[in-house]
Amino acid sequence: MGKRKEKAVVWRQTCIAPGIYDMWIDTGLAEEAKPGQFISVYPENKSTLLPRPISICEVDKENKRLRIVYRTAGKGTAEFSGYHAGKEIEILGTLGNGFPLEKAQGKTCFLMGGGIGIPPMLQLARELKAMGGCQVNIIVGYRDANLFLDKDLQQYGSIYIATEDGSVGSKGNVMNAIEEKGLKADVIFACGPMPMLRAVKQYAEANRMEAYISLEERMACGVGACLGCVCKTTHKDPHSHVNNARICTDGPVFDAREVEI
């Protein structure tokens, strides 16, 4: 059906960790949403100007609802955190390409999320379990003991937790957890901060694994027009003839071998 702007309604919102909010939205966009895609949410405060891109955490197609889990980081997300049930909001979606689930068939998978890169792993884990034919190991990294979505995730695979301060699970990051637990896989799906994704890319190359990474980037328009979220690629774009890709439209999910990060 393609991307479109529409009015949606907040069904429920709760704070699930310090600065982390969990919002369910009633929207027809749920019918076409895929794991790894995102929506843009427009603030009412026009001084903030641009919509905020937020990854899709979970999809309820039956009730036509989308779940987004986000961190308050500025004026726009601070405004969103004050929304209550029944609030009408404007959103644009569904955006981006999503994760290639077919790459997991018959394989052992790592689903790796760091910080606010954890939410998109939930719908991905759900759909991989429903698809069957693959073994799912979920490795998630937090700053400290303020965990979120860990109990949701454990329904869909074996979960391993890393915290920077060592308060829960392995001390360090997701790569430390893999090493400590001696985990092995055939393919990686990952989302998180750039240092984590660089480590995932290097690990995949060293172990001759496929890796599909969702790049977190500040986006402006969300539809590829402004070129504000360009990343370098190993191949030339057929339109611009340069080694660039737009994260919002060509991504946010890329084969790790095809991007320079």
**Topology of domain 101-213, per CATH?**
Rossmann fold (3.40.50)
The secondary structure element, H or E, covering residue 203 is helix 194-206
In CATH terms, the fold of domain 217-261 is Dihydroorotate dehydrogenase B (pyrk subunit); domain 3 (2.10.240)
Rounded Cα distance between 192 and 190, Å, is 7
> Distance between CA atoms of 126 and 50, rounded to whole angstroms?
31
Q: Residue for token digits 């896989």?
A: 185
Give the pLDDT band of residue 23 (cuts 50, 70, 90).
very high
Intervals of CATH 3.40.50.80 along the chain = 101-213
% of the chain surpassing 90 pLDDT:
77
What average pLDDT does this structure show over 144-153? 98
Residue 31: closest CA among 55, 1, 53: 1
Total Cβ atoms within 10 A of residue 10: 17
Model confidence over 214-235: pLDDT tens digits?
A: 986 555 555 555 555 555 666 5
Q: For the chain, where do the domains classified as CATH 2.40.30.10 start and end?
A: 4-95
Q: Provide the whole-model pTM.
A: 0.90
CATH among 3.40.190.10, 3.40.50.10490, 2.102.10.10, 2.40.30.10 for 4-95: 2.40.30.10
Residue 191 — very low, low, confident or very high, per pLDDT cuts 50/70/90? very high
Contacts of 117 (CB under 8 A, 6+ apart): 55, 190, 191, 192, 193, 196, 214, 216
Residues 6+ apart with CB under 8 A from 118: 69, 140, 142, 148, 149, 153, 191, 192
CATH 2.10.240.10 in the chain: give the residue spans.
217-261
Average pLDDT over residues 41-61: 90
